[in-house]
Structure formats: structure tokens, C-alpha cells
Chains A and B, each alone.
Chain A
């Protein structure tokens, strides 16, 4: 077997030979699963959270430690803390107790996880990943487990078990594909969520999650962008938009009395290709201004994402609070939310009761079409794709889909909007309205069965490269399939993590395919009053038939 290319490091894509990664070994080890230990190596775990980030948000046990070291510098009473933590959560979350008790280990979920499909590690079968915690639950919280021990699938909570939890609960993206197939409806993501929450009690957390959390707590967004920088970055991107469209767009920040507050992930203002979606939002809002849209952006509620979800329920609540706080401060009527994945899980499943009721807000009504978004009555927050789809349905947008004729698109359902809120049609309707060439990936890889980008829930960092590539195989395979069959060259999505992580995934598994946001394509197609002849798309690439005229 050829070894990895020497010039690459394990945190780089080029290190991993595609043919070797494609040959997945599904043969389980000979030993019983309780007797195997994970092998930590660069590529399959994430660096620990830096002390400064734990200190900033007041999380316990800030220190320097490394997963590859023997001693993880846990507090002396770590076992007591964890067992108390489990007991507390069994009382607090009925779902957790239920999920601990009812699994019959039928195995319906076993081959549904992208990390298992692409990696072959049996402990990445959702049933077994959950069993890592369930076995401890049996031993310490059930009579059968206490008496029968291992015979009843029970095991003591040991230092090695804690290490195993850390390894596998950070090899789950909480995408919930497994839960779609569970006959009992067990949501394995919730088990991972509790698992990570427990690990946080003793200071086991990863920097890729905790730095955004600390930044978000300090500045309102993951990137740590301060208000003056947010404004400058916006103006910079709008200068680019003006060069392409010929239309000057004035951004609007922190304006009291506006009707609508817009909140979107900060990844979209900072990183390509999200920046083009960011330009797309502004182009749309500018277009609607003369039709009565009264919308403002916040430099404080400047993050849609919430890495608190990947830390603990308490942290999720704390970080989410700014949305309603800012809506109240500005006195808006309702909130419009951008293209983000896990943000919508937090909003749709938790926000209304967690930080609500938002009785100071009103039922969202589109100022352009008069449509009442009754579905958003409890949260008062509407998804941008829903908003735009409604505009298109009412014929309110002048669109030239031929301006996306250089694009043959497919759509990646982001896990959380898909499985967390059943959001399937609106983004497709928008994409098909602005782009003439659209093809679906195979049906067992889209909609509620969508395959994860393998970098969600805070795993999208380079030191996790091997697992990201392996876990990306099912999605990458489906993308490559439509590329070969239909010439698909763009993978559209509605999530900022997707826009960051799918780029790597496509570069590896489907290298001719480019990742795009949905409102980037809207921005390409939307015909603005007084615009110049468009020769390029928002990325400065020539439009079809404009190759000669485009000044690129």
C-alpha cells in the first residue's frame, strides 16, 4: 500500500489517497466493543479548547491538555461530577431517559451514519455510539445493570470510557440522519448533545466550538467581528456588488423603529463563498426597498449560528438570547433569518420556549405580498428562502434566470433545516426560479435523507481532515454522480457551515463542482432598476455568452 504523499500533513486534504480512503474496511475488530480503545491521531480528533475561551464564558477546568497525552488533567472528582450530571439530566430531559431505555438495538440506524459509511468504525454506528453512554447509564442507574453488569450491557464509568466519549461524541455531527430510520424515533443527536454537555462539565471541549462560543458571547458573532469592522466589511462587499451591477447599495445598521431585523451567520460576511450570498441578500433587500421593505441589520445580533448548541443547553440559551434582546431594543416587528443550518434547529425547536415568548413582536407579515407567516407565529422569525419563495410566487421579483446559465445546479439539503424543520420545497422553488438547469441527487441522499457535509456541529476544522473526508464520502459520491450524469457543476446550499466545509468535500470527492449559496444565485438573476448590463456573476465570472465582454 502506498503511503501518504510526503509533502502533505495529516491536516491537509492531499495527505489522503482517494483510492485508499474509498476502500472502506467494515470488518469489526475481533475483541468485544467494550475492550477496544480509540486511537487518537491528527485527522480524527479536534484540538482542545484554549483556556482563555473557557475562562471567558465561565466553563470549568480551563487548562492545557492534549487528547494524545495519557493524562487529561481532569478534576479529581470527575466521576462524581459526570454521574451527578447524568442523574440531573435524566430528571430534566424526559427524552434523554426515554432514549436511554427504549433502544432494542435493532440496527436500523447502523449503516445510516456518514461517518460509519465512509469510515467503517463500528462505534460510529449510531446505535453503538449511543451505547457508549447507555452502557454507563445501565450500570449506574438501572437495577439489571447494577446486578448483571456486562451481561446486561452495562459497564462502569472509567477514565477510558470518558476518552471514548470524547472521541466519538466529537465524531458525530448531530445531523440526525439515523433518527429518520429509527422505528422508535430515538434522536441520537440528542444523545450526542447530552454527551457533549456532560464532557463540558469536566472541561473536555474543542476549540473549534469554544472559540466561536467565546467570540459570540463577547462580540455577538463567531468570528469576533466588532461593529466598526462589520460595517466596513459590508461596505467593502457592496463596493464589489456595485462594480458588477452598477447600483450603489446603502447598508442599514442598528436602526431603531425598523419593521424587520435581519440575522445571518457571520461566516457569510467573512469567508468565501459565503460572501457572495451576503451580497445576494443586500441586492434583494435593495430591490425591495422601494416596494416597502423596512429592514435593518444588527452589528450585535450579528450571528445566526449558535455553537452553544454544540456545548450545552445552557450555553445555547445564553447565546440565542441576543436575537430577541436586539429585536426588543430596536423595536422591530419581526425577524428575518438568513441561510444557516443549525441556527434554524435552535430557532425552530428551542427558541420559542427557551428565550420566549416573544410577545413584544408581531406575527410576521411580508410587507410586499401581505402573506402572513402563520407557521412562524411562535418564534416570530421567518427563513429567507420562505420569504423569497413567497415573493417569487406572487410575481414580485424581476428575474433573469439566464444569468445563471453558466451554472448547472443541484441542491444539498442542509441537515438541520431539512430534518429539524421539514424545510424542503422553498429553497428548491427559489433555485429553480433563478436557474434554468437543476438536477436532483438520488432520492436517498436528499430531503429528509440528506447526507451531512461531515463538518457540522463544530467539526469543520482541518485537524479533523481524515474524518471529514471519510464522512464526506456519501455526499461527495452523490454530487459526483449528478456531475457525471447531468453535468452538475454547482452544489447549492442554505447553510454557512456547508459553504465552508462542502468546498473541501467537493474538492476531494467531486473536484469539478463549486459550492454556492442560494441567495448568491438570486443576486445573479435579480434585475435591479438602473443596473448596468451584467457581464459577470457576483463572483466576477463571465456570464454565458459574455465571455468576450466580461472584464475579468
Chain B
């Protein structure tokens, strides 16, 4: 499995660069790392609102929320989510939150 070394920490990642160990391996250092690769200048309150919601939802349901729930609960339309996370709700926001990539007919 590929590993990422970032600021003295090592993270195992899958082929898409998602945190292989999921939430168990997630920490703020990971957020910092995803910020860099996503080209996000500063992780602000709006990013944290997304990350916190995604993690809470995942803990309760074992999956990422559908985009429409994500959008409605945070109050951010999809366009805004793309502004916050240039790779989008899945490959940007879910990655930062330490969630796995959704698979299936999606």
C-alpha cells in the first residue's frame, strides 16, 4: 500500500489517495495534507463544517451522505462545495474527512 509522509507523519492511502485506514487513521495533519494537494489556501470554518458533518454522518450511517443531503445540511450549494473543495464533494471533501470513496452505480 502506498504511504504519504507529511510533516513527520505517515499515512497509508489507497490508489485514489484516500486514507486507507479511514477515520481511525484520520487526524488534523491529514486535513493539512489534503489542503495542500487540493490547493486550498486556508482551511476555514466552512471547510470544518463540511468535514465535521461528513464524519458525523459516516459514524451514524457507515456511508458518505448523498450530495443533496450534504448540500442541504451545510447550506452550501454544489457550486459552493466545489469552491471549497476543488475536486468536489467526493474526491475533495470526503477525502479530507477521511471517508472512503463511494462505489456502485454512482
Contacts and interface: CB of A to CB of B under 8 A. Distances in A.
Interface centre among B63, B68, B103 (most CB of A within 10 A): B103
Contacts of B60: 229
Contacts of A224: 62-63
A233 B66 contact: yes
A266 B67 contact: no
Interface in A39-86: 47, 50, 64, 66
Contacts of A270: 66, 102, 104, 106
B24 interface: no
Interface of B: 1, 14-16, 60-63, 66-69, 72, 102-106
Given A233-B66, A463-B16, A500 B105 contact: yes
A154 interface: no
Contacts of A497: 105
Contacts of A496: 105
Nearest to A219: B62
Contact of A223 (B1, B68, B104): B104
A270 B7 CA distance: 36
A542 interface: no
Counting chain A residues whose Cβ lies within 8 A of the other chain, the interface size class is 35 or more
Interface string A249-284: 000000000000000011111111011000000000
A224 B62 CA distance: 8
Contact of A229 (B1, B63, B72): B63
Q: Which 4 A-B pairs have the closest CB atoms?
A: A267-B105, A222-B104, A271-B106, A496-B105
Contacts of B69: 233, 236
B62 A266 contact: no
A212 interface: yes
A496 B106 CA distance: 8
A226 B60 CA distance: 10
23 contacts: A11-B16, A47-B14, A47-B15, A50-B14, A208-B103, A211-B104, A223-B102, A223-B103, A223-B104, A225-B61, A225-B63, A226-B62, A228-B61, A229-B60, A236-B66, A270-B66, A271-B66, A271-B67, A272-B68, A305-B104, A463-B15, A463-B16, A499-B105
B66 A212 contact: no
Nearest to B104: A222
Given A47-B15, A64-B1, A226-B61, A272 B105 contact: no
B4 to A, nearest CB: 16
A266 B15 contact: no
Interface in A202-256: 207-208, 211-212, 215, 221-226, 228-229, 233, 236-237, 240
A179 interface: no
B33 to A, nearest CB: 17
Given A233-B69, A236-B68, A240-B68, A305 B63 contact: no
Q: Which of B1, B16, B106 has the most CB of A within 10 A?
A: B106
A215 B104 CA distance: 9
Contact of B103 (A222, A226, A499): A222
B105 A305 contact: yes
B28 to A, nearest CB: 26
A449 interface: no
A268 B68 CA distance: 12
B104 A266 contact: yes
Given A223-B102, A233-B66, 13 more contacts: A47-B15, A50-B14, A222-B103, A225-B63, A226-B62, A228-B61, A229-B63, A236-B66, A265-B105, A266-B104, A269-B66, A271-B66, A271-B106
A401 to B, nearest CB: 26
A461 B15 contact: no
B68 A274 contact: no
Nearest to B103: A211
A267 B66 contact: no
B103 A207 contact: yes
Contacts of B103: 207-208, 211-212, 215, 222-223, 461
Nearest to B72: A236
A207 B104 CA distance: 10
Interface string A441-469: 00000000000000000001111000000
A177 to B, nearest CB: 20
Nearest to A274: B105
Contacts of B61: 225-226, 228-229
B67 A272 contact: yes
Interface in A164-208: 207-208
A462 B16 CA distance: 10
A223 B106 contact: yes
Which of B14, B103, B105 is the most central at the interface, judged by chain A CB atoms within 10 Å of its CB? B105
Given A229-B61, A463-B15, A266 B105 contact: yes
A275 B105 contact: no
A275 B104 contact: no
Contacts of B62: 224, 226, 229
A267 B102 CA distance: 10
Interface string A386-415: 000000000000000000000000000000
B58 to A, nearest CB: 11
Contacts of A229: 60-63
Contacts of A233: 66, 69
B62 to A, nearest CB: 6
A66 B15 CA distance: 9
Contacts of A222: 103-105
